[in-house]
Amino acid sequence: MTGAAGVSNTGASERKLGKRILVAEDDPNILRQIEFNLQSNGYVIETAQTGADALKQLMTNKPDLLITDIMMPEMDGYELVSSLRSDEQLADLPVIMLTARTQDEDVAQGYNSGTDLYLTKPFNPTELLAFVQRILG
């Protein structure tokens, strides 16, 4: 495939092929927005609407990236990330927290729990995609 400047775009598509992202988000509208944005850019998306469900999925099928909200039923994002970081098989999984919690204490708690990147809602889908691409290569 050739871009407008005659540059091949095939390499970027091939790098994304098979990159799996688990999105843990309890708001179905936000979940659909993230899913659409990332799928339309070549990523394979799996979803969970609770932290507990996300952890179960992570334990059985490790993705390449986790994007998680903080405020979810059963297990919040802080607990989810802390659980990952204490698990030998999941400790190195990259994590983006995407949340409406914007206070300095919330951001600090996110990083202290082990998240790699903390983004706040409302978010720019293009910015999220850029961060995903940077993390996954």
Please report, for the domain that includes residue 93, its CATH number: 3.40.50.2300
**Residue 82, in any domain of the structure:** yes
**Residue 50, in any domain of the structure:** yes
**Residue 9, in any domain of the structure:** no
Domain count of the fold of the chain: 1
For residue 18, what pLDDT is reported?
76
Residues of the chain with pLDDT under 70: 1-17
pTM score: 0.85
**Residue 6, in any domain of the structure:** no
CB atoms within 10 A of CB 117: 17
pLDDT tens for 42-70 read 999 999 999 999 999 999 999 999 999 99
Range of the domain at 37: 16-136
**Residue 4, in any domain of the structure:** no
